Amino acid sequence: MFTGIAAIFPIAPLYVAHRGGDSLVIGLFIAGPLAANMLVQVPAGRLCDRIGRRPLLIGSRVGFGLFSIGLFLDVGPLWLLTIFRVLQGVCSGAYVPALRAALTDLSDPDTRGQRFAQLQASEMVGLLVGPLLGGAVALWRDAAVFGVAGLAVLLGLLPMIRVPETLTIAARERKDEPRFRWWRERGVIVPALGLAALGTVFSMYDVVWPQYLTARHYGPFLIGLSISVFAVPILLLAQPAGRLADRVERRWLVALGMAVVAITAASYPLMRDLTPILLVGTVEAIAVVVIEPSLFAVIGDTASELVRGRAMGVGGLFEFSGMAFGAAVLGSLYGIAEVIPFWGGSAVLVAAAVICVTALPRRRRPAEERWLRREPAPDEVVFPVREKEVV
């Protein structure tokens, strides 16, 4: 699925330009799906808490594929094609909280960090393969990239059909729906702020990185190579990083990872040669691989089955909001001075690291979780105990 979506990224501006669209239409064609993706996260999360995970997991993919067919066939004028593209963003936004909620439902608390790390690695494979595939098919016809994207997403339905419905019937039929005050839940709002900071920095890189390396006289091939080099540690270390996130105190792990990324981001303007840039990028990737899985694992541990979709939607909302800020604000400041976006992103990460290390909920030890979930023996007397009293 991620391969199909990533295939669109490098070709979308050319697709609009070849159909007479100016820079404003290109901006709408690219930014519209991102905005729709961000805005639909929480409503989609609420919906998957009411009707189940499978309807959104499957229905959103079918919708994305149908709109891809319209874009591939060039049906109608450019404004209609732009609407199709925005509706693709709605489908993608509806899919993400259902995916993360189902992944949380299906994972054991003791291995939840590993599962989100595997998801991150899958995304990275798609982001590596997709643009290459999109560029190759665009040599034949630029609209073909949407055909490839739709086909890849629909092929993703084959394994998705086997995913069971993880929202129980009792939860779906519950009449007294709980009010989910996510802004009062430290296990949701604090990871969400961390995800916003991470999204801010990496969308800033999307805008700034090609300009940064071009200013050092490196061409498109080496720019692409630098991105691939960054992805390799994430692919190789996803499993051990996930295990680490399941075994140590996550607030310290997340804070340390953010601090390392902040240092690397601040150091890039000081470097001119590609070799040290790639080495620093490798260190940065090693730190990044533990951050996002740990933050989503904390949200998954905090939210009950009844509100898990909404909790994941809040995390996605903050993450995409940070991406919008990083690209629109920090990315645009590169033209004023090269150091501003790098140091600005570093400052955002330092602030997020401080928030996480002081406010991220303490993770229970696996033995402690098992004790809380243990069923008493028939002749055992059990006294009521609050979780905070468990030491």
Q: At 19, is the secondary structure helix, strand, or coil?
A: coil
With bands split at pLDDT 50, 70 and 90, how would you rate the model's confidence at 267? very high
Q: What pLDDT is recorded for position 143?
A: 87
* Residue 259 pLDDT greater than 50, yes or no: yes
Q: What pLDDT is recorded for position 214?
A: 86
Residue by residue, DSSP assigns 86-126 as: HHHHHHHHHHHHHHHHHHHHHS-GGGHHHHHHHHHHHHHHH
Q: What pLDDT is recorded for position 374?
A: 46
The percentage of the chain sitting over the pLDDT mark of 70, rounded to a whole number, equals: 90
With bands split at pLDDT 50, 70 and 90, how would you rate the model's confidence at 100? very high
Query: What is the C-alpha separation between 49 and 53, in angstroms, rounded?
Result: 7
Q: What pLDDT is recorded for position 269?
A: 94
Three-state SS for 176-229 is: CCCCCCHHHCHHHHHHHHHHHHHHHHHHHHHHHHHHHHHCCCCCHHHHHHHHHH
* Residue 255 pLDDT greater than 90, yes or no: yes
CATH architecture, domain 182-361: Up-down Bundle (1.20)
What token pair was written down for 172? 């779906």
Query: What is the C-alpha separation between 133 and 149, in angstroms, rounded?
Result: 10
Lowest mean pLDDT among 170-179, 279-288, 325-334: 170-179
Of 79-83, 187-191, 238-242, give the range with the top mean pLDDT: 187-191
Q: What pLDDT is recorded for position 227?
A: 78
* Residue 299 pLDDT greater than 80, yes or no: yes
Domain boundaries, the chain: 1-164, 182-361
The CATH number of 1-164 is 1.20.1250.20
Please check whether the two domains, 1-164 and 182-361, share a CATH topology: yes
Q: What pLDDT is recorded for position 175?
A: 56
Q: For residues 107-123, give the mean pLDDT.
A: 89
Q: What pLDDT is recorded for position 282?
A: 93
Q: What pLDDT is recorded for position 323?
A: 87
Q: What's the predicted TM-score (pTM) here?
A: 0.83
Q: For residues 160-178, give the mean pLDDT.
A: 74
Burial class (CB in 10 A: 0-12, 13-18, 19+), 13: middle
| Whole-angstrom Cα Rg for the chain | 22
